[in-house]
Amino acid sequence: MLPDTASRSTPLVGVLALQGAFNAHQIALESCGAETRQVRVRADLDGLDALVMPGGESTTMSRLLTTSGLFDPIAERISDGLAVFGTCAGMILLAGDVLDGRPDQRSFAAIDIAVRRNGYGRQVDSFEADIEVASLDGPVHAVFIRAPKVVSCGPSVTVLAEHDGVPVVAKSGRMFVASFHPELTPDHRLHSLFLQEV
């Protein structure tokens, strides 16, 4: 029995649980072999190997990150090298530049991309598409719900998938982002890809 080794080999992944689609991310991550913890207060960050920022409403999450006191400690953990997967609103929270945001909306500016909120249109313009992701065999079925549209990427960013010529999955350092909702489909290969980096 090697409990220490065994526990280290299972990453502990926090899922920001202030608002949005956090439960489905936990299910996806656990099916990939990770342990998960909902993150609502500062102490929930202790010992995390990685963090997921889910889809939802980035303006609401921005406000709740401030009122919960989580914004600064998360920013600190990111600058210390915490791996983060941001999906949809979570991608907005990680972006360096947010277009069409609220004036008081904050982001961690952890990946050098500019995104336009609701860049594909309103709720009725939500859509699904099969996309090819670098290093994955076979397309991923992607659900876009009032998704942010990437309008530019800096040189540090690697684009892993595009839809109609627009980046929809990208990474840079320990940051991994998708403009759609990978937790809403039973295919968890994107979560696995993220966990390979953790």
Catalytic residues: 88, 181, 183
Residue 93 Cβ, how far from ligand GLN at the closest point, in Å? 8
Rg of the chain in Å (alpha carbons): 16
* Residues 136, 95: Cα–Cα separation, whole Å: 24
Residue 9 Cβ, how far from ligand GLN at the closest point, in Å? 32
The H or E element containing residue 9 is helix 3-9
Does 94 contact ligand GLN by CB under 6 A? no
Residue 181 Cβ, how far from ligand GLN at the closest point, in Å? 6
* Residues 49, 125: Cα–Cα separation, whole Å: 36
The only residue of 32, 45, 48, 88 in contact with ligand GLN, by rule CB under 6 A: 88
The only residue of 23, 118, 158, 192 in contact with ligand GLN, by rule CB under 6 A: 118
Q: What share of the chain is helix, strand, coil (3-state, %, to 5)?
A: 30, 30, 40
Nearer to ligand GLN, 11 or 90 (CB): 90
- The single-letter DSSP state of residue 139 is P
* Residues 112, 97: Cα–Cα separation, whole Å: 8
DSSP string, 35-66: EEEEE-SGGGGTT-SEEEE-SS-HHHHHHHHH
Residue 155 Cβ, how far from ligand GLN at the closest point, in Å? 26
Count the site residues for ligand GLN by CB under 6 A: 11
* C-beta separation of 73 from 130 below 8 A: no
Does 117 contact ligand GLN by CB under 6 A? yes
In the region spanning residues 1 to 60, those forming contacts with ligand GLN, defined by CB under 6 A, are: 55-58
Nearer to ligand GLN, 11 or 93 (CB): 93
* C-beta separation of 33 from 78 below 8 A: no
Nearer to ligand GLN, 144 or 194 (CB): 144
If one counts every other C-beta atom within 10 angstroms of the C-beta of residue 147, the result is: 30
Nearer to ligand GLN, 38 or 59 (CB): 59
Residue 29 Cβ, how far from ligand GLN at the closest point, in Å? 18
Does 182 contact ligand GLN by CB under 6 A? no
* Residue ranges in contact with ligand GLN by CB under 6 A: 55-58, 88-89, 92, 117-118, 145-146
